[in-house]
Structure 1
Amino acid sequence: MTRYISILETIGRTPLVRLDRLAPPDVNVYVKVEAFNPMGSVKDRMALAVIEAAERSGDLHPGQTVIEATSGNTGIGLAMVCARKGYPLVVTMAESFSLERRRLLRFLGARVVLTPAAEKGSGMLAKAIELADKHGYLLCRQFENEANAEVHSRTTAREILDDMQGEPIHAWVSGFGTGGTLKGVSRVLKAADPRIRIVVAEPDNAPLLGSGEAQPAGVSHPRFRPHLMQGWSPDFISPLTQQAVAAGVVDDVVPVAGEEALRLARELARKEGIFVGISAGATLAAALQVARRAPAGSHIVCMLPDTGERYQSTPLFEGIEDEMNEEELALSRSTPGCRFDTPAVTPVSQVVTPQEAVSDIEAERRLDDYLTQTPVVMFALAWCEFCWSARKLFDRLGVDYLSVDLDSPAYQAGDMGVRLRPVLARRCGAPTIPQIFIDGQSIGGCSELFEAWHDGSLGRHLAECGVAYDAEAIIDTELLLPTWLHPRSVTA
């Protein structure tokens, strides 16, 4: 199928991929790459199932707000589903989870209520319950909602069996998290072939299942400790997980160290080209332990829950630098062009031909017109990240300004945006964009604007021409630059 009525129809049917370089040579390890779901994780399946179950039961009414406690992936899936279906969404999340997850949720229109990290997963769940009770929100209850398990019985498990095409599966390996994937997949696989081993992985420093200790009611499990695998194991054994264990479908529990999870996530990217998160690396670590003990020719299926993109502010990306390392710098210097250590200088021509002079008369007039419209004028390009940075400073200061976006349709009549560039370059003595003027005087580009703010001259210029601004603002201009850009790259 190549055309879909809705993004929600693209959930599921994720690929099963055989590993070539990481698995033992005599054992077939297949990974279920759930990053192929539209929002990048296995939780997309559950998000759609929970919302549609609530719609069918009448528990969710048109326009009603949905709320859930989540480490991120469930919330991101719910945000997609709620956006498509028109339900407002509130997510409660412990402050310790990655910043990318919060931003993704808010980008999709959800509201994010943070809870103290010390109160762990049970704290964010308690907050969700409080908010649902007070405001009449629908609480998804992913940790106990049977729709969570049902969707994995109906889709994930069937996909695995169909893709294996009758080949015997020695073991299926997964984390447990909410318990939905574990309960839903295991019961179908066991029904299809009781010989399939169901292996559950968990953090070695938080052996909730491995300890054999029951989950106390309403409090954190006594064996829980904070760990690196976000969303892989909360501080309690969920009801869905307890039901799977009670049903006797779990054959083995494998502890995994956090450092091993990080290592395998990186190895998957660099040796197999599969980009996943920390929990996927942890699950693979357990699967490889199983593979090393499995008979030759065995088939092992391993769940990879999500993509690695939402882990950039976590230890998974430690050591991944924004700037060039010594090897990359040496490679850059091996050819003469486009180098930061020998920047090209673009001379600004002071000689204007007669043809240019005739063409520039209107451009000069237009430039002067813009400069008289308002005291603060920025000549910019809509796509330029340095222009965005300058705009951020003006916005933080509350400064009203005119932005002449030379590449926008509004300034392209008569090709004026192009014709203004050389006139502007001669006026400022520099060909770069942005160029900022205060009271008709050029103060330079983004770097000069930031310097003027720090040395106080920007404030004096604004005050002299009567432009209101927040003189008490405390602004770190480095944080206004593009995130990929180190400050010294600006001057290079």
Structure 2
Amino acid sequence: MPRYASILETIGRTPLVRLARLVPPDVNVHVKVEAFNPMGSVKDRMALAVIEAAERSGALRPGQTVIEATSGNTGIGLAMVCARKGYPLVVTMAESFSLERRRLLRFLGARVVLTPASEKGSGMLAKAIELAETHGYFLCRQFENEANAEVHSRTTAREILDDMQGEPIHAWVTGFGTGGTLKGVSRVLKAADPTTRVVVAEPDNAPLLGSGEAQPQGKSHPRFRPHLMQGWSPDFISALTRQALAAGMVDEVVPVAGEDALRLARELACKEGIFVGISAGATLAAALQVARRAPAGSHVICMLPDTGERYQSTSLFEGIEDEMNAEELALSRSTPGCRFDTPAATPAPRPPATPVAQDATGQVASSDEKASSDDKAPSDIEAERRLDDYLTQAPVVMFALAWCEFCWAARKLFDRLGVEFLSVELDAPACQAHDMGVRLRPVLARRTGAPTIPQIFIGGEPLGGCGELFEAWRDGSLGERLNACGIAYDAEAEIDTERLLPAWLHPRSATA
């Protein structure tokens, strides 16, 4: 191994790894494991490139504060670069992104300014611009900065071509956020071989590219919905992404479900030994779709943007317990030495509730959930009818959002109580036909008197949201309502509802 004068010299040259257990047997799927960068993500490349380009141009003065809006990985990369080069750093970030990212940033010396989750990516960007203009900070502008794309043309794309050693690439698969990786790599791969397909993955419930709808000036994209893939698809199509599209670099857009992203991130760890985050699982989901229809012997290359370590407070780690479960305790007790015993074995965690419009047995909740062939948008009366239809299908119904941490918290309580329920996820693709998920929101607000999600009904009557559900469990009224409807549940369960809430709400993390 060579000796390096700076940690910054170790950025790039990440491995291209062939998968063995998750892929079709006759197609070669290779993953570009960007977690090997020093701060664990592909954004290390861009962070260094943007700072050095600003230094060369004089846009960044010695000692000047750097600022950027980021979901985390860009900020973490910038924190490393700024720490080494001696620039103060401020990061603006929506409060809904994982705690690990905030802590890493602050550990590296950055200041983190949180913005309301409801303001989405546009909100944290607007805050960064406002702070930069007010205080004279250097704003990186990652979503439009050509240095972002240039570094991927110069490094990432060249590494892929060098590693493939002349073998033809059938398809290169990536997500998009800033668009730097997409634009920078695709133009080099296309120049080397115009037959290489560039495939872009995006959340199936937020089809910004797949919809074909233009990005409104200064507004959120009309097809944006919050989703599980942190770092992917903000609520706008970035300038770099638009440039790649305009240049004809994108051959296909593949929608990916959040549940598939979680599943494949976990399977990559358990079956291939590769530890990555949710966006990497989502990109692999798209790559596997491409691989299944690729000619035998083809090479498909998939970007894995970051490590899984910064997702431990998210749904990716749902069901991963700190304590030994029943199976592990039984294994511990199977030999006499070095035993660790507790009064009672911890029960094995149950899987989360069945997603989008399915009941606990996995049956589709309603045939009406399928998109209608009628192009006429449904009226409020139809939304009322749809709501009533859902309420007749199960004694316990929760109107939820797949991405929402409060909905996850409510699911956890029902899961621990053993309560079967119908989860209707308003941001899922099935509810997007004629904007039904959007049209149900005001109907729910009128029925419940609250505009928030989740909204839970028991026996057709509204209970409230996550907070009301937890309070009802604590004061015993939830049990009374379940009993009145003949709904089985574990009345002896001892549950600390505070521990079911998102980690960033816990008092101990208030200064995180």
Instruction: Tell me by how many angstroms 1:342 deviates.
Output: 7.7
Letter in 2 for 1:158: R
2:201 matched residue in structure 1: 201
Q: Would you say 1:307 and 2:307 are equivalent positions?
A: yes
What SS does structure 2 have at the residue aligned with 1:302?
A: strand
Cα separation, 1, equivalents of 2:140 and 2:313:
28
Quick check: 2:66–2:89 contact (8 Å CA) kept in 1? yes
TM-score by length of 1: 0.69
Amino acid at match of 1:139: L
TM superposition shift of 1:336: 1.8
Deviation at 1:264, TM superposition (A): 0.3
2:94 paired with 1:94: yes
- Report the counterpart of residue 6 of structure 1 in structure 2: 6
In the TM superposition, residue 340 of structure 1 has moved relative to its aligned partner by: 3.0
Please state whether the residue corresponding to 2:20 is helix, strand or coil.
Answer: coil
Matched, 1:75 2:75: yes
Distance 1:158 1:67 in 2: 29
Distance of 1:336 and 1:136 partners within structure 2:
66
| Pair 1:171-2:171 in alignment | yes
Partner Cα distance (1:342, 1:266) in 2: 29
The corresponding residue for 2:152 is: 152
The yes-or-no answer on 1:318 pairing with 2:318 is: yes
For this pair of structures, how many residues does the alignment match?
347
Gaps in structure 1 of 5+ consecutive residues: 344-475, 484-492
Q: Which amino acid aligns with 1:4?
A: Y
Q: Per-residue CA shift, 1:383-431, capped at 9, x if unaligned?
A: xxxxxxxxxxxxxxxxxxxxxxxxxxxxxxxxxxxxxxxxxxxxxxxxx
**Equivalents in 1 of 2:128, 2:278: separation in Å?**
26
AA in 2 matched with 1:37? N
Alpha-carbon spacing, 1:60–1:331, altered in 2? closer, same or farther (3 Å)? same
User: 1:342/1:270 Cα in 2 relative to 1: closer, same or farther (>3 Å)?
Assistant: closer
What is the rounded CA distance, in whole Å, between the counterparts of 1:316 and 1:106 in structure 2?
23
> What does 1:13-28 align with in structure 2 at a 5 Å threshold?
13-28=13-28
Give the AA of the match of 2:149: A
SS in 2 for 1:54: helix
3-12 vs 328-337, which moves further: 328-337
Q: Secondary structure at the match of 1:310?
A: helix
Distance 1:74 1:341 in 2: 44
Residue of structure 2 equivalent to 1:289: 289
Letter in 2 for 1:271: K
Q: Which amino acid aligns with 2:140?
A: C
**For the residues of structure 1 that align with 2:277 and 2:7, how far apart are their CA atoms?**
23
Is residue 188 of structure 1 aligned with residue 188 of structure 2?
yes
| CA distance in structure 1 between the partners assigned to 2:59 and 2:337 by the alignment | 64
Give 1:380's aligned residue.
Answer: none
Residue 60 of structure 1 aligns to a residue in which SS?
Answer: coil
What RMSD in Å do the two structures reach over aligned CA positions?
A: 1.5
Contact 2:100 2:312 in 1 (8 A): yes
> Any residues of structure 2 matched to 1:100-115 within 5 Å, and which?
100-115=100-115
The residue type equivalent to 2:138 in the other structure is L
Q: Counterpart of 1:336 in structure 2: which amino acid?
A: P
Instruction: Describe the SS at the equivalent of 1:253.
Output: strand
**TM-superposed deviation, 1:335:** 1.6
Larger Rg: 1
Matched, 1:33 2:29: no
Distance in 2 (CA, whole Å) between partners of 1:291 and 1:44 is: 29
Work out the CA distance in 2 between the residues paired with 1:300 and 1:327.
39
Measured in 1, the distance between the counterparts of 2:212 and 2:80 equals 37
Q: Give CA deviations for 1:101-155 in whole Å, capped at 9, x if unaligned.
A: 0000000000000000000000000000000000000000000000000000000
Structure 2 SS opposite 1:188: helix
Distance 2:225 2:109 in 1: 32
Structure 1 Cα separation of the partners of residues 30 and 2 of structure 2: 26
Q: 2:236 corresponds to which residue?
A: 236
1:4-59 Cα offsets, whole Å, 9 max, x none, are 00000000000000000001000000000000000000000000000000000001
> Which stretches of structure 1, 4 residues or longer, exceed 4 Å deviation after superposition?
none
3-state SS, counterpart of residue 84 of structure 1: helix
- Aligned AA for 2:313? S
Q: CA deviation at 1:341?
A: 2.4
Deviations 1:301-328 (A, max 9, x none): 0000000000000000000000001110
In the TM superposition, 1:362-401 aligns within 5 A as none
CA contact (8 A) 2:329 2:341 kept: no
Say which SS state the counterpart of residue 122 (structure 1) adopts: helix
| 1:62 aligned onto 2:62 | yes
- What SS class does the counterpart of residue 90 from structure 1 fall into? strand
Taking the aligned partners of 2:332 and 2:42, their CA distance within structure 1 comes to 40
1:215 match: secondary structure: coil
What is the CA deviation profile of residues 406-460 of structure 1, one whole-angstrom value per residue up to 9, with x for unaligned ones?
xxxxxxxxxxxxxxxxxxxxxxxxxxxxxxxxxxxxxxxxxxxxxxxxxxxxxxx
Residue 254 of structure 1: SS of its match in structure 2?
Answer: strand
Q: Give the whole-Å Cα distance in 1 for the aligned partners of 2:26 and 2:340.
A: 49
Q: Hey, what's the Cα distance between the residues in 1 that align with 2:293 and 2:232?
A: 24
Instruction: Write out aligned runs for 1:90-489 (5 A).
Output: 90-341=90-341
State the Cα distance separating 1:265 from its structure 2 match: 0.2
The secondary structure found in structure 2 opposite 1:55 is helix
CA shift digits 1:225-250 (9 cap, x unpaired): 00000011100000000000000010
Where structure 2 has 5 or more consecutive residues not aligned to the other structure, the ranges are 344-495, 504-512
Deviation at 1:2, TM superposition (A): 2.1
Instruction: Give the structure-2-normalised TM-score.
Output: 0.67
Shift of 1:338: 2.5
Question: What is the CA-CA distance between 1:339 and the residue it aligns to?
Answer: 2.4
Q: Name the structure 2 match of 1:459.
A: none
| SS of equivalent to 1:232 | coil
Matching residue's letter, 1:339: R
Q: Is the 8 A contact 2:183 2:240 kept in 1?
A: yes
Change (3 A) 1:306 1:342: closer
- CA distance, structure 2, for counterparts of residue 49 and residue 246 of structure 1: 24
Q: Is the 8 A contact 2:231 2:279 kept in 1?
A: yes
Asked whether the 8 Å contact 2:68–2:140 carries over to 1, the reply is yes
Secondary structure of the corresponding residue to residue 40 of structure 2: coil
Alignment partners' CA distance in 2, 1:85 and 1:154 = 22
Is the CA contact 2:33–2:306 (under 8 Å) kept in the aligned structure 1? yes
Give the deviation of 1:334 after TM superposition: 1.0
